[in-house]
């Protein structure tokens, strides 16, 4: 008998006298007792806000990203313990891969995005400096800082590990402590994962707490700096987001709800095409993975009217090969639903769907199961067909959260998009086509209704990730019916746990706040050539001014011959003059860059290891033969990359003999922490 504990204020708390029995979906036996503990919600909030939050905020983004990396590694080494519990939820090992490995990989991806795309500090800089004054003494910069409250994360039963980690990782990266509340039915798997995280001792005290069972008055106690991230049904979301306390304090509420996701077979994708085969393959995967209990699962299959029958036959053939039964048995592809209640709910909704659609494959009354009792929470894969989807309502509105999908015909692409949009807002819609015009038209007609549009064809088939897989790089969420929320999507996910603030002030103020040299802020003279200074020694704002170099016509011609770039603006005086941008023959922009390097580089071996790139290059004024150029090189930003070197970004400004700016760019170098 499992007894999942809550974790509050640094202590594990056992289920109380009023704990709920959790019945296993495969055996029908009680497998766990959960909830019923008397948790002091205010004490948990105080612990998160007073201990966890300050400890997390004392770290920078990269420190927190390293923490996530360590956590992902720790969980990965112990994941078999999670897989051992996975089958109790009714899921096969393959289903568990999406949940367990999928969750750990998501955490790993946030670790790497945190280090690659966020600063090595405590303030996230969003966008460019805005010029708010003519002389440049008053500027603006958008930044984001961690919220000073707590993230309450309420999850659905279907992904007990991924559902937690995909919310926890961005919240931790942002610097916000979490209180996690898993769905009771599968909470023992979430608890096992939380135990590992706590045992790892990687997180600071108070960064993560766990509520098993009811949340009591937790939501009533939330305020302006807190966030609720909810995943579950539309009804629960509606009830929770209506909490007056959340409204009073404008507490952020993000919802990921159920949705009636669609998959469209393109008008070009006839029964012999590769796209037709792909459509069938993915539809079968969506119906059977996790026994259809995926928020992204395809509920509506929208196909050209003339191929309704061919699609029905092809799907039926594939579905009949899916072995269903005990998720632990060899060869079983589809396991049980998560609970008997879930099975009853799906059957009730199937009855409603059958008022508008014919059941053309699968029969819950006569199932063939491997090593399993049909009385338990099993259902067969099922397919319905709705012949008049325009007149229908239920097929576009009722989500049966189980292994079934409804086939429906369309006339043309506009009709297909309109049917997909009838879901009222979805997480993902997919399209199988080889025709870019079809793809563009469907996207134009329907992207406003879908959080993600997944297009697959023969070109992308072998590497595509599947209709139903939310990827940490891409947003997961959708408008309307899908909850209007947004999760994942790289750094976007982290920003949900942060406050954006517009900072206005002088260049020096902005530079000090953002730890980034801003045009117009102080430039100090470098005590030695910057290429001879270590990463640690170099200071933001440190600048060298080079000597001047005259650019001659011989230089331009030599460069043209040497590189093969004999564009007329460099070689033909009359043609160059006729060009509205040039006064006559001008130097190549790349010649200027090369001369600039020749001016500022210090050639001896030293701490500078490599030039790794160049950003935001602009050529602002032509350089004519006889002009001279010089360079001001200023340290703009420093980012630690490893324990032995970091990236230094330099602002390079090229000016001519009249002090006019002719070019500007950001130069990236890797610089060692110590001299060799």
Residues near ligand NAP (CB under 6 A): 154-158, 181-185, 215, 231-233, 236, 240, 256-258, 295, 399, 401, 427
Closer to ligand NAP by CB, 190 or 655: give it: 190
Q: Is 299 exposed, middle or buried (0-12, 13-18, 19+ CB in 10 A)?
A: buried
Rounded CA separation 5/407 (Å): 44
Closer to ligand NAP by CB, 25 or 530: give it: 25
* Cα first-last separation, the chain: 60
Closer to ligand NAP by CB, 98 or 629: give it: 98
Residue 334 per-residue DSSP state = B
Residues 6+ away with beta carbon under 8 Å from 419: 262, 300, 302, 389, 390, 396, 408, 410
Closer to ligand NAP by CB, 19 or 538: give it: 19
Rounded CA separation 76/69 (Å): 11
Q: Tell me how far CA of residue 4 lies from CA of 149, 188, 504, in angstroms.
A: 26, 5, 50
Rounded CA separation 161/80 (Å): 13
Q: Which of 193, 295, 386, 635 is catalytic?
A: 295
3-class state of residue 300 by DSSP: strand
Rounded CA separation 549/594 (Å): 12
Give me Rg for the CA atoms of the chain.
Answer: 30
Closer to ligand NAP by CB, 87 or 186: give it: 186
- Residue 635 a catalytic site member: no
Q: Tell me how far CA of residue 438 lies from CA of 265, 275, 431, 464, 644, in angstroms.
A: 11, 13, 9, 19, 51
Report in angstroms how near the CB of residue 445 gets to ligand NAP at its nearest: 23
Report in angstroms how near the CB of residue 212 gets to ligand NAP at its nearest: 9
What is the DSSP annotation of 512-554?
HHHTS--TTS--EEPSS-GGGS-TTT--TTEEEEPPPEEPPHH
Report in angstroms how near the CB of residue 233 gets to ligand NAP at its nearest: 3
Of the candidates 492, 488, 500, the residue with the CA atom closest to the CA atom of residue 168 = 488
Report in angstroms how near the CB of residue 601 gets to ligand NAP at its nearest: 52
Give the dihedral sign, CA 93/99/105/108.
negative
Report in angstroms how near the CB of residue 566 gets to ligand NAP at its nearest: 57
Report in angstroms how near the CB of residue 289 gets to ligand NAP at its nearest: 13
In 543-632, which ranges are continuous DSSP H helix? 553-563, 568-571, 573-578, 589-600
Q: Please say whether the beta carbons of 315 and 308 come within 8 A.
A: no
Closer to ligand NAP by CB, 215 or 536: give it: 215
Q: Tell me how far CA of residue 233 lies from CA of 55, 258, 354, in angstroms.
A: 34, 6, 22
Closer to ligand NAP by CB, 249 or 519: give it: 249
Closer to ligand NAP by CB, 399 or 542: give it: 399
What is the DSSP annotation of 89-129?
GT--HHHHIIIIIHHHHHHHHHHHHHHHHS-SSS-EEEEEE
3-class state of residue 630 by DSSP: strand
Rounded CA separation 158/166 (Å): 13
Closest residue to ligand NAP, based on beta-carbon distance: 232
Report in angstroms how near the CB of residue 116 gets to ligand NAP at its nearest: 26
Q: Which of 166, 191, 256, 399 is catalytic?
A: 256
Report in angstroms how near the CB of residue 242 gets to ligand NAP at its nearest: 11
Catalytic residues: 256, 295
């Amino acid at each position: 008998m499992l007894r999942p504990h809550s974790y509050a204020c640094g202590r594990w708390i056992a289920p109380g006298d009023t704990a709920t029995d959790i019945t296993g979906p495969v055996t029908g036996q009680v497998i766990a007792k959960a909830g019923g503990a008397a948790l002091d919600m205010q004490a948990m909030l105080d612990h998160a806000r007073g201990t966890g939050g300050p400890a997390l905020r004392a770290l920078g983004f990269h420190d927190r990203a390293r923490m996530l990396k360590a956590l992902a590694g720790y969980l990965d080494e112990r994941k078999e313990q999670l897989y051992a519990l996975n089958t109790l939820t009714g899921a096969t090992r393959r289903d568990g891969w999406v949940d367990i490995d999928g969750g750990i990989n998501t955490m790993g991806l946030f670790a790497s995005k945190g280090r690659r795309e966020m600063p090595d500090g405590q303030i996230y800089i969003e966008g460019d400096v805005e010029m708010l004054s003519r002389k440049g003494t008053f500027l603006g910069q958008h930044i984001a800082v961690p919220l000073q409250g707590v993230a309450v994360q309420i999850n659905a039963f279907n992904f007990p590990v991924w559902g937690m980690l995909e919310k926890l990782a961005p919240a931790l990266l942002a610097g916000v402590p979490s209180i996690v509340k898993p769905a009771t039915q599968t909470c023992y798997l979430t608890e096992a994962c939380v135990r590992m995280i706590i045992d790892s001792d990687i997180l600071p005290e108070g960064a993560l707490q766990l509520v098993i069972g009811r949340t009591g008055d937790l939501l009533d106690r939330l305020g302006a700096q807190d966030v609720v991230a909810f995943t579950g049904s539309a009804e629960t979301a509606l009830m929770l987001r209506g909490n007056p306390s959340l409204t009073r304090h404008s507490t952020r509420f993000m919802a990921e709800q159920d949705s009636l996701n669609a998959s469209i077979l393109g008008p070009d994708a006839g029964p012999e095409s590769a796209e037709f085969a792909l459509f069938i393959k993915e539809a079968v995967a969506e119906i059977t993975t996790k026994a259809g209990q995926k928020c992204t699962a395809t509920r509506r299959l929208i196909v050209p009217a003339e191929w309704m029958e061919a699609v029905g036959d092809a799907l039926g053939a594939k579905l009949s090969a899916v072995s269903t039964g005990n998720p632990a048995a060899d060869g079983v592809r589809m396991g049980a639903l998560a609970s008997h209640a879930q099975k009853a709910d799906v059957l009730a909704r199937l009855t409603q769907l059958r008022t508008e659609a014919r059941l053309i494959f699968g029969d819950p009354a006569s199932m063939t199961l491997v090593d399993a009792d049909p009385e338990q929470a099993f259902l067969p894969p099922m397919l319905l067909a709705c012949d008049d989807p325009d007149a229908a309502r239920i097929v576009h509105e009722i989500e049966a959260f189980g292994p079934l999908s409804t086939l429906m015909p369309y006339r043309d692409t506009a009709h297909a998009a309109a049917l997909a949009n009838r879901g009222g807002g979805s997480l993902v819609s997919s399209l199988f086509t080889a025709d870019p015009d079809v793809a563009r038209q469907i996207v134009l007609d329907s992207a406003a209704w879908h959080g993600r549009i997944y297009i697959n064809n023969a070109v992308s088939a072998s590497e595509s990730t599947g209709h139903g897989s939310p990827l940490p790089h891409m947003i997961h969420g959708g408008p309307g019916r899908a909850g209007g929320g947004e999760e994942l999507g790289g750094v976007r996910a982290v920003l949900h746990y942060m406050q954006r603030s517009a900072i206005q002030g002088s260049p020096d103020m902005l530079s000090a706040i953002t730890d980034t040299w801003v045009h117009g802020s102080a430039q100090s003279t470098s005590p030695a050539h910057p290429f001879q200074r270590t990463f640690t020694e170099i200071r933001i704002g440190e600048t060298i001014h080079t000597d001047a170099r005259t650019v001659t016509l011989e230089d331009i011609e030599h460069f043209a011959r040497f590189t093969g770039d004999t564009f007329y603006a460099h070689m033909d005086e009359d043609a160059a003059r006729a060009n509205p941008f040039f006064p006559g023959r001008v130097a190549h922009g790349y010649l200027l860059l090369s001369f600039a390097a020749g001016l500022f580089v210090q050639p001896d071996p030293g701490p500078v290891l490599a030039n790794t790139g160049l950003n935001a290059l602009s050529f602002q004024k032509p350089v004519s033969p006889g002009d001279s150029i010089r360079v001001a090189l200023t340290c703009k930003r420093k980012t630690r990359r490893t324990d032995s070197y970091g990236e230094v970004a330099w602002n390079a400004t090229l000016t001519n003999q009249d002090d006019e700016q002719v070019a500007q760019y950001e130069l990236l170098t890797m610089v060692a922490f110590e001299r060799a």
